Amino acid sequence: MEYATERGVTEVLYGQMGSLAGNFEALPALRTTLVSPVVSREQKMSLVCAAVGEEPAECFRDFVRLVLDNRREAYLRTMALEYMSLYRKRNNISVVHLTSATELGDEVKERIAQSVVAKTHGAVEMDCRIDPSIGGGFIFRIDDKQLDASVRGALERIAKAFRQSSVSTL
Q: Are residues 109 and 54 in the same domain?
A: no
Q: Are residues 83 and 39 in the same domain?
A: yes
- CATH for 6: 1.10.520
Give backbone dihedrals phi and psi of 133, rounded to 5 degrees, phi first: -70, -15
Give backbone dihedrals phi and psi of 63, rounded to 5 degrees, phi first: -60, -50
Give Cα 168 to chain centroid, integer Å.
Answer: 42
Can you give the residue range of the structural domain that contains 104? Answer: 92-169
Q: Are residues 33 and 48 in the same domain?
A: yes
Q: Are residues 98 and 26 in the same domain?
A: no
Provide the pLDDT confidence category of residue 88 given band limits of 50, 70 and 90: very high
Convert the pLDDT of each residue in 15-52 to its tens digit: 999 999 999 999 999 999 999 999 999 999 999 999 99
* Per-residue confidence (pLDDT) for residue 170, from 0 to 100: 59
Convert the pLDDT of each residue in 112-164 to its tens digit: 899 989 988 999 999 999 999 999 989 999 978 899 999 999 999 999 998 88
Question: Where is the domain boundary, 35, 56, 88?
Answer: 88
